[in-house]
Amino acid sequence: MRLTVIGCGYVGLVTGACLAAAGHEVHCTDIDEKRIDQLRMGRIPIFEEHLEQVLSRAVAEKKINYTANAGEAIRAGEVIFICVGTPPKETGEADLSAIDHVARQIANEARTPKLVVEKSTVPALTGVQLQKALAAYSRNGTVKFEVASNPEFLREGTAVEDFFHPDRIVVGVENARSAAIMREIYAPILERKFHCPVHGGTCPEGNSGELLVTTISSAELIKHASNSFLALKISYANVISDLCERIGADVEEVTRAMGLDPRIGTQFLKAGLGFGGFCFPKDIQAFIHLASSVGVEFDMLKAAESVNKQRIQRFFEKIHKALWVIKGKKVAVLGLAFKANTDDIRFAPALDVIRRLLEEGAEVHATDPQAISKAHALVPRAIYHEDPYEALKGVDAALICTDWQCFRTLDWEKAGQTMARRLVIDGRNLYSPKKMQEMGFDYHSFGRL
Residue with smaller CB distance to ligand UGA, 110 or 375: 375
227 binds ligand UGA (CB under 6 A): yes
Binders in 33-92 for ligand UGA, by CB under 6 A: none
Q: Check 244, 279, 401, 406 and give the catalytic one.
A: 279
CA distance 380 to 113: 49
CA distance 23 to 338: 33
Q: Which of 279, 304, 391, 400 binds ligand UGA (CB under 6 A)?
A: 279
Is 410 in contact with 430 (CB distance < 8 Å)? no
388 binds ligand UGA (CB under 6 A): no
Q: How far is the CB of 28 from ligand UGA (least distance, A)?
A: 18
Q: How far is the CB of 258 from ligand UGA (least distance, A)?
A: 12
What are the beta bridge partners of residue 399?
333, 425
277 binds ligand UGA (CB under 6 A): yes
CA distance 170 to 423: 47
Is 36 in contact with 67 (CB distance < 8 Å)? yes
Q: How many CB atoms lie within 10 A of CB 399?
A: 28
Q: How far is the CB of 235 from ligand UGA (least distance, A)?
A: 9
The DSSP string of 288-300 is HHHHHHTT---HH
* 244 among known catalytic residues: no
Of 328, 339, 216, nearest to 270 by C-alpha is 339
Helix (H, G, I), strand (E, B) or coil at 390: helix
Q: How far is the CB of 298 from ligand UGA (least distance, A)?
A: 18
Q: Which of 118, 156, 245, 305 binds ligand UGA (CB under 6 A)?
A: 156
Q: Which of 57, 89, 155, 376 binds ligand UGA (CB under 6 A)?
A: 155
272 binds ligand UGA (CB under 6 A): yes
Element (H, E) at 231: helix 216-247
Residue with smaller CB distance to ligand UGA, 37 or 253: 253
| b/e map 157-175, b = 16+ CB within 10 Å | bbbbbbbbbbeebbbbbbe
269 binds ligand UGA (CB under 6 A): yes
412 binds ligand UGA (CB under 6 A): no
Residue with smaller CB distance to ligand UGA, 155 or 289: 155
Binders in 119-148 for ligand UGA, by CB under 6 A: 121
Site size toward ligand UGA, by CB under 6 A: 21
CA distance 251 to 244: 6
Collect all residues with Cβ–Cβ distance below 8 Å to 59 and sequence separation of at least 6: 42
For the annotated catalytic residues, the residue numbers are 279
Residues that bind ligand UGA (CB under 6 A): 121, 152-156, 227, 230, 234, 268-270, 272, 274-277, 279-280, 338-339
